[in-house]
Structure 1
Amino acid sequence: MFETLREVDPLEARGLVSSGVAVLLDVREADEWEAGHAPEAIHVPLSTADERLRELTAKLTDDQLLVVVCRSGRRSALAVGRLRAAGRAAYNLRGGMQAWSLAGLPVCRPGGRPGTVI
């Protein structure tokens, strides 16, 4: 039996992160992250996610979930599947950083300068 992918929209994701219920995990590559990301996100590229899973989950409380984001939602859906297979609660951010930006939520570059989604 296949389990349905759990998704949240950008405003739901922002609320979960703001309340401390979730941590935003950005799985895009370094150039995408450098161009612009959500200010509260943690960056772990999908290509290194399996190796860094233990390190990442050690920073979370047992009841915190992950909201995973990429550019459009495809790579993050893969990451959510991997995280859930490892026993971690995770949601996909529907529409990715494109939807985040379209919702008017902040996108910044390292150092806090305004960013863009590529």
Structure 2
Amino acid sequence: MNPAEVPTVDVPELPAEFALLDVRENYEWAAGHAPGAVHIPMSELPGRVAELPAADQLYVICRSGVRSANVAAWLNGQGREAVNVAGGMQSWQAHGRPMVTEQGAEPQVV
């Protein structure tokens, strides 16, 4: 599947409950992420597929939506139902969605 053809959702249209896969690098995740998200960097995903949530539909997020579109396309090609989150964590933050860090620092998108 071409990343341009991947199902996409804007942050305000996310369902009330959803499984979120964050594919950003470790330093990006550490700076701030969505509570409850599963973190598997894009480069590690092929070797960590078994760690994906068992949800019927998986929402994929990165910083801006480009990497997550590629990952969603790959996952759909593997038989999973994956949806790209348009605008990524930048949009997440802009819409006032909650963010956390493990260190207790002020969360931010880097």
Give the gaps of 5 or more residues in structure 2: none
Give CA deviations for 1:3-37 in whole Å, capped at 9, x if unaligned. 82110111222x2xx43xx3100000000000000
> Given that residues 36 and 115 in structure 1 are in contact (C-alpha distance below 8 angstroms), is that contact kept between their aligned partners in structure 2?
yes
1:87-98 alignment runs, 5 A limit: 87-98=79-90
Q: Could you say which residue in structure 1 is the equivalent of 2:67? A: 75
Percent identity over the alignment is 43
RMSD of aligned alpha carbons: 1.9
Residue type of the partner of 1:24? Answer: L
Matched, 1:115 2:85: no
Give the gaps of 5 or more residues in structure 1: none
Q: 2:51 aligns with which of 42, 51, 55?
A: 55
Instruction: Extract structure 1 runs of 4+ deviating beyond 4 A.
Output: none
Once residues 101 and 66 of structure 1 are traced to their aligned partners in structure 2, the CA distance between those partners, rounded to angstroms, is 20
Q: Could you say which residue in structure 1 is the equivalent of 2:41? A: 45
With the length of structure 1 as denominator, give the TM-score of the two structures.
0.83
How big is the shift at 1:40? 1.8
User: Alignment partner of 1:116: what SS?
Assistant: coil
How big is the shift at 1:117? 0.4
Aligned residues: 109
Q: 2:29 aligns with which of 18, 29, 33?
A: 33
With the length of structure 2 as denominator, give the TM-score of the two structures.
0.89
